[in-house]
A and B are shown apart, each in its own frame.
Chain A
């Protein structure tokens, strides 16, 4: 798995980090029990302040995506079997916010539904998410270094996937 943060982006660094971890969990790249690097190690590797990584981890832990086990570091949390009321409320709020902003900009309802459906299909497609990033790239590196080294052959998380 690759995490990339753009240091001059308008999106805060901790949000970039949080978003990519959430995407990795959603796509199955990270599964329950996976160990994430320590705050110090990830901050050093990304070249960002330790507070940035700590803030992202704390946020992810608060949201239930990670569990913090003291000195052992951060681990991907188990997925709840059924989304509880709190999750559905958050989902409802996020969709409502997106829909309201879309309409405020003059967008039409059918187009919103069409886009939302396309996004959902992309996110929930098991083939796309499980094969796209790690399995292919990792095998390519192990079997043939050249395959994984050709320019932008290895897309960062959050970028387009096959």
Chain B
């Protein structure tokens, strides 16, 4: 297998591992997006459901990796891959995500049924706010001003390298390292690295803003500790977002114009991009493993591994019914735009608020705009 195959297989493996550990990163009172009594997190039936989810996740992960690896090995070193090969690689890459999601939806239904069977009842839904000025705060948006010198540097580099661009600018290479796609030199091509850096910076800035706007995951049964853990998680995540985003934009914004001008090869640029992306991914996964979703693992450690509360009441701040398919949150009476995920690490939008639809629309427009810009280059 060539290095691209290994990279793709590694990507599928990383995705599978993330999906596999996700149930263990959640608060003990949240099981596949369903609230259960925290003290019942080790119920044998819950363990059996988690086991089946894990089995399916590993199964589709291995299948995806084999598909990607096998297809990747058949791609010729010289020349572009066929449409069929690209489709198979995409299928292999998406299979673990889709399969694991399907398993989660099944597990959610199973936990809901178990909740009824065991007579676990929902405690009254409570909203909890901890008004403490001393809680750790995420990095402020002022840090994002650092993108200005970085983007200025990318702009200057684009202008500086533009005269050195060849008549046919290399944009894509085959597995043998030979250029397989080139476009005619134009101001649009020269500006591509800056547009790409702007897009990346915008994504990181919006993600940072999400962290600042998100509500803390405060557990009604342990408000002080969960608020502190959630605040620590938010701060750590904001640090990785700001530092990782700045480094990623700076590195990509430097190596792309240099590769277009032929100062470095496309392969060298790709290796740099992969290294930075890998460091960023490892840091993100590290936070997830150390803190857990919204600091839930911290809370569990502080509690000595025992969940708070009694054995029959499921304590929650949002209704199970507001979580569609376990991942889409819709509550028009909730003032929050950004809320912690019930399944997964990070945040999601409250689609009961118009702002969530506007934000999603803007993201789609930005992606479409970037693709349109790439096509306009020729």
Contact = CB atoms under 8 A, between A and B. Distances in A.
A151 B128 contact: no
B225 A40 contact: no
B130 A150 contact: no
Nearest to A35: B133
Contacts of B220: 4, 156
Instruction: Using C-beta atoms within 8 Å of the partner chain, give the interface range for chain A.
Output: 35 or more
Contact of A156 (B223, B303, B334): B223
Interface string B128-159: 11111010000000000000000000000000
Contacts of A49: 333-335
A48 B127 contact: yes
Given A2-B129, A9-B124, A149-B299, A48 B228 contact: no
A6 B337 CA distance: 20
B68 to A, nearest CB: 41
A145 B225 contact: yes
Contacts of B126: 4-7
Contact of B131 (A7, A36, A150): A36
Contact of A149 (B132, B308, B334, B337): B308
B129 to A, nearest CB: 4
B336 A44 contact: yes
A43 interface: yes
Contacts, number: 115
A2 B336 CA distance: 18
B309 interface: yes
Contacts of A146: 302-304
Interface string A141-162: 1100110111111101000000
A6 B223 contact: no
Contacts of A6: 124-126
A50 interface: yes
Nearest to B229: A145
A16 B220 CA distance: 16
Contacts of B304: 146
A82 B336 CA distance: 40
A138 interface: yes
The secondary-structure label for the interface of chain B is: loop
Most buried by A among B131, B132, B331: B131
Contacts of B130: 1-2
B235 interface: no
A63 interface: no
Interface in B208-228: 213, 215-216, 218, 220-226, 228
Nearest to B309: A151
A14 B114 CA distance: 36
Contacts of B131: 1-3, 36-37
Contacts of B129: 2-4, 37, 42, 45-46
A49 to B, nearest CB: 5
B317 interface: yes
Interface in B310-340: 317-318, 331, 333-338
Interface string B229-247: 0000000000000000000
Interface string B282-320: 000000000000000001001110001100000001100
A56 interface: no
The 7 closest A-B pairs by CB, nearest first: A43-B335, A46-B127, A149-B225, A44-B336, A145-B302, A45-B129, A47-B127
20 contacts: A1-B131, A1-B132, A2-B131, A6-B124, A6-B126, A44-B213, A44-B337, A45-B127, A45-B129, A45-B336, A47-B215, A47-B318, A47-B334, A47-B335, A138-B134, A145-B228, A149-B299, A151-B309, A152-B221, A152-B308
Interface of A: 1-9, 36-37, 40, 42-50, 52-53, 137-138, 140-142, 145-146, 148-154, 156
Interface of B: 124-132, 134, 213, 215-216, 218, 220-226, 228, 299, 302-304, 308-309, 317-318, 331, 333-338
Given A1-B132, A5-B127, A7-B124, 17 more contacts: A1-B130, A1-B131, A2-B128, A3-B129, A4-B223, A7-B125, A7-B127, A36-B131, A45-B128, A45-B215, A46-B335, A47-B334, A141-B225, A149-B222, A150-B222, A156-B128, A156-B223
